[in-house]
Amino acid sequence: MRSKTHFPAEANGWTRAGDTRVFGRDTVFDYMNGAGELYLAYDFQRVHVQDYVRDGGPRIVAEAYEMASSQDAFGVFSNDPEGEDVGVGQGNAYAVGLLCMWKGAWFFRILAESDTLEAKAAVVAIARTLAEPIADGPKPQFLGRLPSSHLETVSVRYFHTHVTLNSLYYLADGNILGLSPRTEAALATYRPSGGKLVLLLVRHPSARDAQSAYREFSRVYLKDKPPPDGPRRIETIEGGQQVGVLIKDTFLALVFEATSRDACQRLLDDVAKHL
Amino acid sequence: MAPFTRRDFLRDTAAGAVGVSLGLSAAQTAFAADAADAKTTVVLIRDEAAMADGKKPNAQVVEAMLDKAVCRLSGKDDPTAAWKTYIKADDTVGIKVTVYMISTSKEVAGAIKAGAKKAGVPDERILTGDKGNSPGKKKPVTALINAPSLKAHHMSGIGCVIKNYIVYHAKPSSLHPQSCSELGAAWQADSIKGKTRLIVVDGLLPLFDKGPQVTPKYRWPYRGLVVGTDPVAVDAVCLRIIQAKRNAFKGEPWPVSPPPKSVAIADTKYHLGTSDPAKIHLVKLGWQKDALV
């Protein structure tokens, strides 16, 4: 994609203001300070930024994030996918002036500084023009490993690194699961009748890496309780919460916030069927 | 020392001291009931008229709010006398605002500048800026007013008072690891060390998740300013506000993530102030509806 080619010149009366700015991996902090870490954690390549203005209307800022893969574009989007579906891209969410969208290896963030009907129409028009020349790309196949029963679909997050995990669901200071750009991870909430459980599923590059993460999790999080002989364990922690662990080949599954051992066991059983 | 984990936040004991002191644990330590029991005072002032439409700040109202807060903080009745408690006429004053993403509003920055002028400082010796233009970076200052916006931050939990000085560090991105826990190090820079006289947090339209990028669905018109002289205590109050808003939004505990360890570590390691609510006297002025703390 060539940014100047695909940012529309006009959308619902809004016109481009200034040149398209481009920030790469080395300069992204100049544009967005520490917010750049979110994108770098998904193998971000560069962001193209274009302002739009209209007399009497709010400024609109359109950001097009170029990622290394469609899986990572989806991953960024999955950080906050809740909002109105306005029918653009492979997935989108509009709320209070901000439209987030992904398509192919691109993630878009288009923000109107004030949420008006006219600005919303312009935001959607810009998004549609940006998305049009981009071919669809695959979602992470890895997400097919998540059991679908009782899954809160909108809760699913896809990521790679410890930095992202801790911004979504703080686990520990250190990178105790050995997360890296080479790992795939998903966080999801399950709500069986009246309950809530959080599943963290990780696929490591090798079974040895998964075993290492299992040992470190047991040492740090389960406070050196000796692991059982089998591939799974359930431990009671503070507040009577149950923590479940299952390891299989390159996969490590962790269940948090279960209020009963049975609920934890059932989700681990379900996970095991998908690995 | 064992690594800090999520489990530490689940405890209601001293082992979870960081979580408890910052209001992240189920156990909520109360703020000091009386100034005599506290090490520092933090003033929270709110006014419904500060943003009549919930979007555009009213400069006059904001200036009046800030003057009132500074008066209460200093114990003086007159705003001029109150500002002179913190700023001298011969000071060169730096107002360190946040200009990117969730920015400090120009109305709050303007009210602070007006306060410095009340103390007798002329326009040409009042510097306002951020990043490369941060006061003290290019031109030296004798007094700093730390004026960030109130926001959650995906790297540090909260990106407010302590984090506002990250630009003074020789390599800011080096402070990102471990949930930005060492942000207090930025306060040791020679150009600014010991110069912070006042903290004014713009809480007119805070952000309670996904900061620092602007995500409007997570902003709300709180219409408040948080004012104090202890950066850690002010951050602790700000954190309590953000945490309470998150819980209210979801209708269940929604902990700030990652845990804002930089606030507690600014206390225990860098000795920049106190994060212990029991040592913070919180004075609430003005509009009380949905104050959250």
The pLDDT-based confidence of B19 (bands split at 50, 70, 90) is low
What ipTM was estimated for this complex? Answer: 0.91
What confidence tens digit (pLDDT) does each residue in B243-269 have? Answer: 999 999 999 888 899 989 899 999 999
Shared domain check, A86 and A24: yes
Query: Is A163 at the interface with chain B, CB within 8 A?
Result: yes
CB within 8 Å of chain A, chain B residues 18-57: 55
Shared domain check, A76 and A166: no
Alpha carbons A67 and A46: distance in angstroms, whole number:
7
Mean pLDDT of chain A, nearest integer: 94
Which residue type is seen at B155?
Answer: M
The answer to whether residue A215 sits within a structural domain is yes
Most confident by average pLDDT, A38-42, B53-57, B172-176: A38-42
Contact between A120 and A97 (Cβ < 8 Å) = yes
What confidence tens digit (pLDDT) does each residue in A27-75 have? Answer: 998 898 888 999 999 999 999 999 999 999 999 999 999 999 999 999 9
What confidence tens digit (pLDDT) does each residue in B75-91 have? Answer: 999 999 999 999 999 99
Mean pLDDT of the B174-188 span: 92
Contact between B149 and B98 (Cβ < 8 Å) = yes
Query: Is A38 at the interface with chain B, CB within 8 A?
Result: yes
Alpha carbons A230 and A39: distance in angstroms, whole number:
38
Q: Choose the weakest-confidence range: B165-174, B191-200, B224-233.
A: B165-174
Query: Is A51 at the interface with chain B, CB within 8 A?
Result: no
What confidence tens digit (pLDDT) does each residue in B32-47 have? Answer: 888 888 899 999 999 9
The pLDDT-based confidence of B178 (bands split at 50, 70, 90) is confident
Range of the domain at A32: 3-131
Residues 6+ apart with CB under 8 A from A44: A25, A28, A36, A65, A66, A67, A68, A72
Angle (CA) B130 B133 B138, round 5° = 135
The answer to whether residue A136 sits within a structural domain is no
Q: Is the pLDDT of residue B2 over 80?
A: no
**CATH code: domain of residue A206:** 3.30.200.100
Q: Which chain B residues are Cβ-neighbours of A198 within 8 angstroms?
A: none
Shared domain check, A182 and A66: no
Query: DSSP letter at A24?
Result: E
Sort strands B280-286 and B40-46 into parallel, antiparallel or unpaired: parallel
Between A238 and A129, the more confident residue is A129
Query: Is A143 at the interface with chain B, CB within 8 A?
Result: no
The pLDDT-based confidence of B13 (bands split at 50, 70, 90) is very low
First to last CA, chain B: 33
Nearest CB neighbour to A170, from listed B6, B100, B216: B6
Residue B78 tokens read as 């007159």
Most A CBs within 10 Å: which of B1, B6, B181, as the mutation test of the A interface?
Answer: B6
Q: Which chain A residues are Cβ-neighbours of B258 within 8 angstroms?
A: 166-167, 170
Contact between B243 and B255 (Cβ < 8 Å) = yes
Mean pLDDT of chain B, nearest integer: 91
**CATH code: domain of residue A41:** 3.40.1000
Q: Structural domain boundaries of chain B?
A: 38-286
Shared domain check, A267 and A149: yes
Contact between A267 and A258 (Cβ < 8 Å) = yes
Q: Is the pLDDT of residue A153 over 80?
A: yes
What confidence tens digit (pLDDT) does each residue in B125-142 have? Answer: 999 999 889 999 989 999
Last residue of a domain, one of A131, A164, A196: A131
Q: How far is A226 from chain B (nearest CA, A)?
A: 17
Q: Which chain A residues are Cβ-neighbours of B216 within 8 angstroms?
A: 95-98, 111, 115
| B203-B206-B211-B217 Cα dihedral, nearest 10 degrees | -170
Most B CBs within 10 Å: which of A84, A173, A243, A256, as the mutation test of the B interface?
Answer: A173
The answer to whether residue A159 sits within a structural domain is yes
Shared domain check, A148 and A95: no
Q: How far is A64 from chain B (nearest CA, A)?
A: 14
Shared domain check, A148 and A123: no
Shared domain check, A113 and A19: yes
Query: Is A35 at the interface with chain B, CB within 8 A?
Result: yes
Query: Is A275 at the interface with chain B, CB within 8 A?
Result: no
Contact between A161 and A216 (Cβ < 8 Å) = no
Last residue of a domain, one of A108, A131, A154: A131
Q: What number of C-beta contacts closer than 8 Å exist between A and B? A: 95
The pLDDT of residue A2: 44
The pLDDT-based confidence of A227 (bands split at 50, 70, 90) is low
Handedness of CA A175, A178, A181, A185 (dihedral sign): negative
Shared domain check, A44 and A88: yes
Q: How far is A161 from chain B (nearest CA, A)?
A: 12
Q: Which chain B residues are Cβ-neighbours of A171 within 8 angstroms?
A: 5-6
What total of structural domains would you count in chain A? Answer: 2
Residue A223 tokens read as 């406070």
Q: How far is B75 from chain A (nearest CA, A)?
A: 38
pTM of the model: 0.93
Shared domain check, A270 and A145: yes
What confidence tens digit (pLDDT) does each residue in B105-128 have? Answer: 999 999 999 999 999 999 999 999
